[in-house]
Amino acid sequence: DRGLCGGIHSSVSKAAKRYLKAGENETTSSVVVIGDKARVQMQRGEFKNFITASANQVGKEDPNFASACAIVDEVLRKLGGVSATALLAPEATKRFSVLYNTFKSMMQYEAQQFPLFTEADLKNSDQLNRYEIEDEGVLQNFAEFNIATRVYHAMAEAHASELAARRMAMENATRNAGDMIDKLTITYNRTRQAAITNELVDIVVGASAQDG
């Protein structure tokens, strides 16, 4: 929701816009934006029509799993107009992905896209055949848990990236302010010295005129 952290918000917004412009995504996609800054950037131009829902006040505290679950539940409800169970069912055709900033280092972050798997994706997974699943509700529960876990991971990565970017932005601002203070101090001292010199010259000239 807050600025003063460099271009971290525009990084995700630009990645989302590139995704929306790609192929069939331009007519079939819906966007849920978390954070006021990214929402404002996404509302510019034709991209505002893609926004289905938005959330704010998420980053006031450290990310937690409860917040991720609440966001996922609201997103699924907004997108499908139905329960999460029906939206993630094997016969559902919707596909989801999350775009977020992943932390690389204190000076680097990168916008990354990660797919979120539905129950149909899990059923078609080759690795899943290794397990015997008797209860049909297990896959549904796992699909919901998997999406919430991935969103929680994205929130944690984005939070770390934002803190690092904010620290670097404040460090750069402090350095720039220090440089400006140094330059202004030099200018002030030079101006003060020039004024003193002019006053001394006037005094000397006046004294010389009286002696003459």
φ, ψ for residue 46 (rounded to 5)? Answer: -75, -10
Q: What is residue 51's DSSP assignment? A: E
Closest by Cα among 101, 99, 60, 55 to 77:
55
DSSP 3-state assignment of 36? helix
Which residue has tokens 């131009």?
A: 45
φ, ψ for residue 191 (rounded to 5)? Answer: -65, -45
φ, ψ for residue 52 (rounded to 5)? Answer: -95, -40
Cut 0.75: pTM above it = no
Is the four-CA dihedral 190, 192, 198, 203 of positive or negative sign?
negative
Burial tier of 175 (Cβ tally within 10 Å: 0-12, 13-18, 19+):
exposed
Per-residue pLDDT reduced to its tens digit, 9-50? 888 888 888 888 876 555 677 788 888 888 888 888 777 788
DSSP 3-state assignment of 60? coil
Q: Give the pLDDT mean for 92-97.
A: 68
Question: What is the spatial distance between Cα 173 and Cα 108, in angstroms, rounded to a whole number?
Answer: 18
Share of residues in the chain with pLDDT > 70 (%): 84
Per-residue pLDDT reduced to its tens digit, 152-182? 998 889 888 888 888 888 888 899 999 999 9
Least confident of 24-28, 33-37, 53-57, 104-108: 24-28
